[in-house]
A and B are shown apart, each in its own frame.
Chain A
Amino acid sequence: MIWIERQRAFLDFTLSSLWRRKVRNLSLLMIYALIIFLLSSVIFFTHALRKEAESVLKDSPEMIVQRVVGGRHSLIPISYVEKIDQIRGTSSVRPRLWGYYFHPASKTNYTIMVPEEFSQPDDTVETGAGVLRTWGPLWKGKLYFKTHDGEAILLKAINTMGDETDLVSADLILMSESTFRKISGIPEGYANDLSVNIRNERESQTIMMKTVKALPDTRPILKKEIIRTYISLFDWRGGYVIVLLWGALLAFFIFAWDKATGLSAEEKTEIGILKGIGWDTSDVLMMKFWEGVVISLSAFFLGVIAAYVHVYFASATFFEHALKGWSILYPKFSLRPSVNPYQLAILFFLTVVPYTLLTIVPTWKVAITEPDLVMRH
């Protein structure tokens, strides 16, 4: 009990001392909380997106086969379907017809696609929620398209994909095969790529090698490579965003180090007086320890809570601008709220612990000096 009461007395004294320099300490707290907010937002956001990509893309085709001409993705003849179908282990091969359509009025890129079964007539398209959000005014519920040979066509738009699928479907426009070929100009007998279903996923590597052997101008992309692409993209340790944020974190630590090493004359006098009235060096260090704890722990709580609200309640609004770049269309999505305790622990040890230690070291240097020397200085 005595120990607890003693620590509370230190805490009382520390809080009063901090409050005497409130403008300086509150601004420090705000900057510190902002740094933690940015770091945790990136960590939460990339973690949630990585989990989302893993859960959603596990239903992607087992293998996509592209044709490569001159190092570039090119149209693939539909006759390749038969050759891949003959490879043992494949259960189905389907040509995929998809492409991009740039709508000059809204300056937006859309993905046009032909589903395996399209139940609408040729003059109707099914759109993702983002398409109708960005397209601009519709003429009697119809979208104006320009075909590859310059002809104008109007297609009736129906929104069959709700907001809930926006993360994969925001820019999708589904249409019949004949309408797609009319708009894109992809000739009959060709597709963009082939999607291959494989009976046993463990055989995918072998089937991939057999495909390349049978069709040397193709490049197969396995589902696990698609998923790994997104995992590495959203891996916070490897992301470019975290590299940029490390710069901000280092700048903050230099600032904190500078603040801590250059104890103000007022602080030095305070330490001298405390020693003069009978405080031990260990007492002064304990007070400074509490000062570090109060600032860093408060900043940690404020930063992490704000980051959680930002990512999971406000759909990471601050990152929208960076992710959007020059694009007009950005999906509406809510991420699965989940925080990895390991990441939270790393964040704690990277922010709270170093700052607390940083404030103790320079104080120790002053605290071991004779009190009269410190006060006279």
Chain B
Amino acid sequence: MVRKSTAYLIFLLVAGLVMAGLIFMHPRLQMVDYERGLVKRQHLVRELGLTDLCLFTEARYTRHLSQADLHSPFQDYPMALEHFPSGSLVLPPEHLLKR
């Protein structure tokens, strides 16, 4: 019968190899596909003059986060509270933070 320590050390070895394979080998294998997509994205950004990632499409100040003004999260009147879920995940844009 296999000793428990042997079985556990084999588990650690396999887990370590899987982790090393994912961290060091997988990025190399994916690089060609990724680079092809990246070039297309960069080209589109340059051609259209885009400024933001399309991650949060629910509110205009999170869709174009870098272009937001200080008041946009509060919509159009002073008592309107910021209420979009993505508003709680993002920070105001850099140019407003440094003021």
Which residues, 271 to 308 on A, are CB-close (under 8 Å) to B?
Answer: 294, 297-298, 301-302, 304-305, 308
Of A55-63, A181-189, A248-256, the stretch lying at the interface with chain B is A55-63
> Does A11 have its Cβ within 8 Å of any Cβ on chain B?
yes
A228 / chain B contacts, CB cutoff of 8 Å: 94
Q: In the complex the two chains form, is A64's CB within 8 Å of B70's CB?
A: no
Q: In the complex the two chains form, is B69's CB within 8 Å of A305's CB?
A: no
Which residues, 137 to 189 on A, are CB-close (under 8 Å) to B?
Answer: 161-162, 164-172, 174
In angstroms, how far is the closest chain A Cβ from the Cβ of B1?
A: 12
The distance in angstroms between the C-alpha atoms of A72 and B47, with both chains bound, is 27
Which residues, 82 to 113 on A, are CB-close (under 8 Å) to B?
Answer: 94, 96, 100, 108-111, 113
Total residue contacts A-B, CB cutoff 8 A:
214
The distance in angstroms between the C-alpha atoms of A196 and B90, with both chains bound, is 26
> Interface digits, A19-56 against B, CB 8 Å rule (1 contact, 0 not)?
10000000000000000000000000000010011011
Q: In the complex the two chains form, is A169's CB within 8 Å of B12's CB?
A: no
> Does A15 have its Cβ within 8 Å of any Cβ on chain B?
yes
> Does A371 have its Cβ within 8 Å of any Cβ on chain B?
no
In angstroms, how far is the closest chain B Cβ from the Cβ of A235?
A: 9
Q: In the complex the two chains form, is B95's CB within 8 Å of A230's CB?
A: no
Q: In the complex the two chains form, is B34's CB within 8 Å of A336's CB?
A: yes
The distance in angstroms between the C-alpha atoms of A312 and B30, with both chains bound, is 10
Partner of A66, one of B65, B67, B97: B67
> Interface digits, B18-56 against A, CB 8 Å rule (1 contact, 0 not)?
110011001100100010111011111111111111111
> Does A347 have its Cβ within 8 Å of any Cβ on chain B?
no
The distance in angstroms between the C-alpha atoms of A53 and B51, with both chains bound, is 10
Q: In the complex the two chains form, is A161's CB within 8 Å of B53's CB?
A: no
In angstroms, how far is the closest chain B Cβ from the Cβ of A141?
A: 23
> Interface digits, A106-149 against B, CB 8 Å rule (1 contact, 0 not)?
00111101011000000000001010000000000000000000
Q: In the complex the two chains form, is A12's CB within 8 Å of B89's CB?
A: no
> Does A8 have its Cβ within 8 Å of any Cβ on chain B?
yes
Q: In the complex the two chains form, is B57's CB within 8 Å of A308's CB?
A: no
B18 / chain A contacts, CB cutoff of 8 Å: 305
Q: In the complex the two chains form, is A232's CB within 8 Å of B91's CB?
A: yes
- Contact status of A12 and B16, CB under 8 A, knowing A100-B60, A232-B91, A305-B22: no
- Contact status of A225 and B93, CB under 8 A, knowing A109-B58, A301-B15: yes
Chain B contact residues, CB within 8 Å of chain A: 3-5, 8-9, 11-12, 15-16, 18-19, 22-23, 26-27, 30, 34, 36-38, 40-58, 60, 63-72, 84-86, 88-91, 93-95, 97
